[in-house]
Amino acid sequence: MSETKHVNFFALEKACKEKGCPFCNLINERIYRYIDGMLFEHVSDIPFRRAYRAAGGFCDRHGKILLHYRDGLAVAILGQNILSDYIEAFKKKKAPKFKACCPACIEQEKIEKDFSSFLSENHKHKETQEQLTAYFTASDGLCVPHYAKLLSLFNPPTWLKEFQETLFSSLNERALRFIDYSAWGNQDKFESLSREDQIVWQELARVLRGSVE
């Protein structure tokens, strides 16, 4: 294993032990660290400032992190740049057009691609592959958006394809049963469902959306 793969191996293992999609868990942790690093240490970093300004700031989702950020000065410096661009455009009765993509979204794409590649790879070191398969198949598996993303980029190994498809089919069956038992007259059947199955709609919504914050 190369140095970076080593890092990925352990990062993924940790994310697999948490509840929910391992990629979503990784992203939540790394994006926060990315934004924290950018704001706290690199607010004077010219390429970052330029990218931030060209994007009109972070997107709605990532911009939320700024509301409770620990360093008000960094948020003010970055925000003032953007506000002045709006003011200039407003004078011309225009809405400014920001052509660049949110820098945190770009970073997220990189993380997704990196781990999709790592998970799809056939690791030559037998023990590494066995351990990876073991910890991944003990996790909650990828959410629908992350598995779809992985498929759009790489060819998944059989073990991963089977694991994910089994998870989705089982959820699908539980959702169908929930719908069926929710019908009028099926009260008794509904009562017989486990607590988890009675709220399977929440699990379905989570798996369809993912849990990226």
Interface with Zn ion by CB under 5 A: which residues?
Answer: 21, 23-24, 59, 62, 102, 104-105, 143, 146, 210
Nearest-approach distance from CB 156 to Zn ion, in angstroms: 15
- Integer Cα distance of 4 and 64 in angstroms: 30
Q: Which is nearer to Zn ion, 146 or 174 (CB)?
A: 146
Q: What is the DSSP string of 119-182?
A: HHS--SSHHHHHHHHHHHHTS----HHHHHHHHHHS---HHHHHHHHHHHHHHHHHHHHHHHHT
Nearest-approach distance from CB 104 to Zn ion, in angstroms: 4
Count of residues making up the chain: 213
Upper half-sphere CA count for residue 212 (Cβ side, 13 Å)? 22
Q: Which is nearer to Zn ion, 92 or 97 (CB)?
A: 97
Q: What is the DSSP letter of 102?
A: P
Nearest-approach distance from CB 102 to Zn ion, in angstroms: 3
Nearest-approach distance from CB 57 to Zn ion, in angstroms: 9
Q: Which is nearer to Zn ion, 31 or 132 (CB)?
A: 31
Q: Which is nearer to Zn ion, 89 or 101 (CB)?
A: 101
